[in-house]
Amino acid sequence: MIFIAHDLVEMVKHVSDRVLVMYLRHAVELVSSHDHMYHNPQHPYTRALMSAAPIPDPDKECNKEI
């Protein structure tokens, strides 16, 4: 089954075994959802997607680095 989403952190992380990040119609990163992508994304677009996810704690959200 293919699940297409823009929310890598909350939704995709919980429903996927593997995650393929695409940028401008090209695959840029393919990893196990339990792999390093959530701790050390390799592609700049993956990092941008990860940093765009809101953090539920307002203090942490205000102080997060992009």
SS3 labels along the chain: CCCCCCCHHHHHHHHCCEEEEEECCEEEEEEECCCHHHCCCCCHHHHHHHHHCCCCCHHHHHHCCC
Q: What is the pLDDT of residue 23?
A: 92
Rg (CA), the chain: 12
Give the residue ranges of the chain where pLDDT is below 70.
Answer: 8-10, 33-38, 53-58, 60-66
Q: What is the pLDDT of residue 35?
A: 66
Q: What span, in angstroms and rounded, lies between the C-alpha atoms of 57 and 5?
A: 23
Q: What span, in angstroms and rounded, lies between the C-alpha atoms of 37 and 18?
A: 10
pTM over 0.75, yes/no? no
Average pLDDT, the chain: 77
